[in-house]
Amino acid sequence: VLFLAYFVLQVIYARRKYKISPPETTGHPEFERIFRAQVNCSEYFPIFLSLLWVAGIFFHQGVAAVCGLLYLYTRFKYFQGYTVAAQGRLGPLCASARLLWLLLGLAVAGLLAHFLLP
């Protein structure tokens, strides 16, 4: 949640810097990149939290926590890269996607083990 708050604050600062009033979402290219980075991170947050929660409960809390911290780090790097240049988001985007897939695998493995194994 602190990451999302940080991203929102960056949008607010960019709005002030480039004099873009809500509800406008276009204007200076730097503002648009910051805005899109924030929105993209917010869109994936419910998926991340759900997978983190299920993997932590049904697979292993420690493994899920490490994956969660790595995911947050990659999204932070994604945000930083995107605010500089649109191409700067690609490496961290791939890394965060791999971590989401890993969390999905852990969640499924944990659920299968919980419900199918004695």
Q: Which pLDDT band, with edges at 50, 70 and 90, does 118 fall under?
A: confident
Architecture of domain 1-113: Up-down Bundle (1.20)
DSSP calls for 89-110: GHHHHHHHHHHHHHHHHHHHHH
pLDDT in tens, 35-47: 999 999 999 999 9
- pTM value is 0.93
Domain ranges of the chain: 1-113
pLDDT at 30 over 80: yes
Q: 50 is written with which tokens? A: 């759900």
Rounded distance between C-alpha atoms, residue 59 and residue 72, angstroms = 20
Per DSSP, the three-state class of 89 is helix
Rounded distance between C-alpha atoms, residue 30 and residue 16, angstroms = 12
Q: Which residues are catalytic?
A: 16, 89
Rounded distance between C-alpha atoms, residue 36 and residue 34, angstroms = 6
User: Across the chain, what does the average pLDDT equal?
Assistant: 96
